[in-house]
Amino acid sequence: MDKYDNDNIFARILRGKIPATILCEDDMTLAFMDIMPRADGHCLVIPKAPSRNILDVKPQDIAAVMQTVQKISRAVMKGFDADGLTIQQFNEQAGGQMVFHLHVHVIPRFDGVRLGPHTGIMADTDLLEKNAEIIRAAL
């Protein structure tokens, strides 16, 4: 396993070097909209402490992340009137991880609607903000 890269995109978001559509924040975690969503309402939760993935995260940091994941999940379900959720977390390149800062995807799901592919295409910022407002209102 490689070392943590302090210049990864999520570390830069945490330092305020890259903008993000923030949903909520506390001392240990940050939740924000995924800029390449696979569904409306797709968001991410990350620890503020540096950790590459599940393999090196400190227990207190993963516990805080999962508490925020639950909080965001409830808001996503309520705000989007979703039928369910997909929670995803990838580890190392072979496991599908693309950004090497621990992150958990929260994706609202609807009966009969397939999850969109990861296209690498960034969503419109107005759409991300509209979806963020729905989640924030449900928090």
Show which residues are catalytic.
103
Instruction: For residue 102, give Cα distances in angstroms to 19, 79, 113, 114, 131.
Output: 18, 25, 28, 25, 23
Contact 87, 104 (CB under 8 A): yes
Contact 41, 135 (CB under 8 A): yes
The single residue listed with the structure tokens 């949903």 is: 23
DSSP 93-106: GGGT--SSS--EEE
